[in-house]
């Protein structure tokens, strides 16, 4: 395994994913990790990440310099290289010319990390500091026009420093460099597979759980579904999943989850129909934040009530993923302003005096999906687009009623059918319908109509932090519009949302 020390770079998660793509397990830890902890996890090598600080600045993050005495290879990237150079007696100072974007790297010695890489290759730079003097035992192995020490090595010790970012796709040979570091320099083996992850996790879960009972809130989304299956594989009947049907789900969704988990996967599932409670709580509420709060509270109440019926529960399973963990303890990130309060169950374990068990907490989303496949989760659940906890309530602008839910569900199902028919569902981050509180005049047959408007939202994104409206083919928009207006009673107009995030958000509320 490889240890990545996190100095706060925006590319940290990318480094981890690149390493795991090579089937080598890695873990990201903050700089304060102690030498004893590092010895305990026994990495084959260490990667020091980039970061926004300057090594000579007052608040520059530092790790224990004992890492250089462990006898294992170290790769410093950008700030990580500055930290290493500085710690080993070299000097880093403001570069004469800052360097951002693509640069041409001249490889001077194609050994070690550059083995098999020809003289010139592109690399991605983003820095204002540079090496002024390298530490003893180091030599320069690559330069760019502006940066003499773009790559340095201490061959004997297996220490490497790269000023540029090998983890980004703009550095075409970055993958090769990382693979050289992992396999030639650190001697790692390709052992990180989902099957090995399952075996290890099952053992760990069994030892943590013992003969106790675990409950889990199943939403039908990828994270909770995969967590359910992994826990089920490890502890079988000791796991009870609770599915709260809030009446705000898409067409056929609740029945689908029930069928898949109960019938096919034989998971112990309690299906709670709480539609009425949610709808009566939402009656007359139009403010988006109020809707979210009401749904959050009602969910917790319903979940707690059901959980109390199961005797002897001490653990709560949760589908937390690695990015949630990394982001919540980031060296520089702070809590950002609340734009929308997320429906989450963070308060649950404390209220119910339960201990958390989070078996996916070291996995990225794509790995969770691969794990789901390995555990037999059907494709349509693995590849589901994200769906917000408050469900259709935040896609009905204005009052949420049974009748309006039914209109939106039909429109949304048609939209999705058309998107799937064109094979676009996996290419889009999300695609859904929104019901507007807006009636307009139309004509159907010879009759004047005065009916509702449906908006279509389809976006592309990689992480939902930013999103662009999808350039759907006009013919597809045409067939979605035709079908919705013809097949859904009460709708006579369809519009397409062409706003990006920011400044708009993906969901309308």
CB of 112 closer than 8 Å to CB of 89:
no
Q: Report in angstroms how near the CB of residue 386 gets to ligand XMP at its nearest.
A: 4
Residues with Cβ within 8 Å of residue 301, at least 6 apart in sequence: 277
Binding flag, residue 340, ligand XMP (CB under 6 A): yes
Q: Quick one: how far is CA 44 from the chain centroid? A: 26
Q: Report in angstroms how near the CB of residue 504 gets to ligand XMP at its nearest.
A: 8
| DSSP tally for the chain: helices H, then strands E | 15, 18
Q: Quick one: how far is CA 106 from the chain centroid? A: 35
Nearer to ligand XMP, 308 or 505 (CB): 505
Q: Report in angstroms how near the CB of residue 270 gets to ligand XMP at its nearest.
A: 21
From candidates 343, 409, 410, 493, binder to ligand XMP by CB under 6 A: 343
Nearer to ligand XMP, 198 or 228 (CB): 228
Binding flag, residue 250, ligand XMP (CB under 6 A): no
Quickly tell me which residue has 């083919």 as its tokens. Answer: 473
From candidates 359, 388, 456, 493, binder to ligand XMP by CB under 6 A: 388
From candidates 342, 422, 426, 427, binder to ligand XMP by CB under 6 A: 342
| CA gyration radius, the chain | 27
Question: Among the candidate windows 128-136, 189-197, 438-446, 498-506, which touches ligand XMP by CB under 6 A?
Answer: 498-506
The secondary structure of 296-320, three-state, reads HHHHHHHHHHHHHCCCCEEEEECCC
Q: Report in angstroms how near the CB of residue 469 gets to ligand XMP at its nearest.
A: 12
The answer to whether 167 is a known catalytic residue is yes
The answer to whether 362 is a known catalytic residue is no
The strand pairing partners of 239, in sequence order, are 214
Q: Report in angstroms how near the CB of residue 356 gets to ligand XMP at its nearest.
A: 18
The strand pairing partners of 443, in sequence order, are 448
Q: Where are the alpha helices (DSSP H) in 71-221?
A: 79-87, 174-179, 194-209
Rounded Cα–Cα distance for residues 124 and 120 (Å): 13
Binding flag, residue 45, ligand XMP (CB under 6 A): no
Binding flag, residue 389, ligand XMP (CB under 6 A): yes
Question: Among the candidate windows 150-158, 190-198, 349-357, 501-509, which touches ligand XMP by CB under 6 A?
Answer: 501-509
Binding flag, residue 464, ligand XMP (CB under 6 A): yes
Binding flag, residue 501, ligand XMP (CB under 6 A): yes
The site that binds ligand XMP (CB under 6 A) totals a number of residues, namely: 13
Binding flag, residue 505, ligand XMP (CB under 6 A): yes
- Pick the catalytic residue from 167, 418, 451, 507: 167
Q: Report in angstroms how near the CB of residue 109 gets to ligand XMP at its nearest.
A: 47
The strand pairing partners of 154, in sequence order, are 159
Quickly tell me which residue has 């939106």 as its tokens. Answer: 408
Question: Among the candidate windows 61-69, 185-193, 321-329, 340-348, which touches ligand XMP by CB under 6 A?
Answer: 340-348
CA angle 353, 278, 247 (to 5 degrees): 110
Q: Report in angstroms how near the CB of residue 288 gets to ligand XMP at its nearest.
A: 10
Binding flag, residue 220, ligand XMP (CB under 6 A): no
The answer to whether 78 is a known catalytic residue is yes
- Pick the catalytic residue from 29, 123, 127, 165: 165
Closest listed residue to residue 135, CA positions, set 157, 112, 105: 157
Binding flag, residue 288, ligand XMP (CB under 6 A): no
CB of 70 closer than 8 Å to CB of 39:
yes
- Residue 92, both tokens: 């880093």
Question: Among the candidate windows 7-15, 166-174, 175-183, 383-391, which touches ligand XMP by CB under 6 A?
Answer: 383-391
From candidates 323, 386, 442, 490, binder to ligand XMP by CB under 6 A: 386
How would you class 283 by CB atoms within 10 Å of its CB: exposed for 0-12, middle for 13-18, buried for 19 or more? exposed
Closest listed residue to residue 431, CA positions, set 364, 384, 377: 384
What are φ and ψ of residue 27, in 5° steps?
A: -135, 140
Nearer to ligand XMP, 82 or 292 (CB): 292
Residue 141 DSSP label: E
Residue 288 DSSP label: H
Residue ranges of E strands in 116-261: 120-133, 139-143, 151-154, 159-162, 213-217, 239-245
Q: Report in angstroms how near the CB of residue 223 gets to ligand XMP at its nearest.
A: 9
Binding flag, residue 151, ligand XMP (CB under 6 A): no
Q: Which residues bind ligand XMP (CB under 6 A)?
A: 340, 342-343, 386, 388-390, 430, 464, 501, 505-507
Residues assigned a catalytic role:
78, 165, 167
């Amino acid at each position: 395994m490889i240890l990545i020390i996190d100095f706060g770079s925006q590319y940290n998660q990318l480094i981890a994913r690149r390493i795991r793509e090579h089937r080598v397990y890695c873990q990201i830890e903050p700089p304060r990790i102690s030498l004893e902890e590092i010895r305990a996890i026994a990495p084959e090598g260490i990667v020091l990440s980039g970061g926004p600080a300057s090594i000579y600045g007052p608040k520059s993050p530092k790790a224990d310099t004992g890492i250089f005495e462990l006898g294992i290879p170290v790769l410093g990237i950008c700030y990580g290289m500055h930290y290493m150079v500085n710690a080993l007696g070299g000097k880093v100072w403001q570069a004469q010319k800052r360097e951002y974007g693509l640069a041409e790297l001249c490889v001077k010695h194609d050994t070690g990390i550059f083995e098999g890489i020809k003289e010139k290759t592109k690399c991605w730079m983003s820095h204002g500091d540079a090496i002024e003097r390298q530490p003893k035992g180091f030599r320069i192995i690559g330069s760019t026009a502006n940066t003499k020490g773009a790559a340095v090595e201490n061959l004997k010790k297996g220490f490497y420093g790269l000023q540029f970012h090998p983890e980004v796709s703009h550095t075409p040979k970055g993958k090769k460099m990382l693979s050289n570091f992992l396999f030639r320099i650190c001697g790692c083996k390709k052992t990180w597979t989902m099957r090995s992850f399952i075996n290890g996790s099952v053992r760990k879960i069994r030892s943590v759980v013992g003969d106790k009972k675990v409950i889990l809130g199943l939403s039908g989304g990828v994270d909770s579904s995969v967590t359910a299956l992994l826990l089920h594989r490890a502890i079988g009947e000791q796991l009870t999943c609770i599915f709260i049907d809030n009446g705000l789900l898409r067409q056929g969704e609740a029945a689908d989850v029930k069928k898949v988990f109960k019938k096919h996967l034989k998971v112990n599932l309690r299906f709670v129909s709480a539609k009425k409670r949610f709808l009566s709580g939402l009656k007359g509420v139009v403010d988006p934040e109020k809707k979210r709060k009401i749904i959050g509270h009602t969910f917790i109440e319903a979940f707690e009530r059901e959980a109390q019926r199961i005797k002897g529960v001490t653990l709560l399973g949760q589908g937390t993923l690695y990015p949630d963990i990394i982001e919540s303890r980031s060296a520089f990130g702070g809590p950002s302003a609340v734009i929308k309060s997320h429906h989450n169950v963070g308060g649950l374990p404390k209220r119910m005096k339960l201990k958390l068990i989070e078996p996916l907490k070291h996995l990225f989303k794509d790995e969770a999906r691969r794990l789901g496949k390995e555990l037999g989760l059907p494709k349509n659940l693995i590849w589901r687009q994200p769906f917000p906890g408050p469900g259709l309530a935040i896609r009905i602008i204005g009052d949420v009623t049974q009748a309006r839910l039914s209109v939106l569900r039909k429109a949304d199902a048609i939209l999705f059918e058309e998107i799937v028919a064109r094979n676009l569902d996996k290419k889009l981050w999300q695609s859904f319908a929104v019901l507007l509180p807006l009636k307009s005049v139309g004509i159907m047959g010879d009759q004047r109509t005065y009916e509702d408007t449906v908006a279509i939202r389809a976006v592309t994104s990689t992480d939902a932090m930013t999103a662009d409206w999808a350039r759907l083919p006009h013919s597809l928009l045409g067939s979605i519009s035709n079908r919705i207006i013809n097949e859904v009673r009460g709708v006579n107009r369809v519009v397409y949302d062409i706003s990006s995030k920011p400044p708009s958000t993906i969901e309308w509320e």
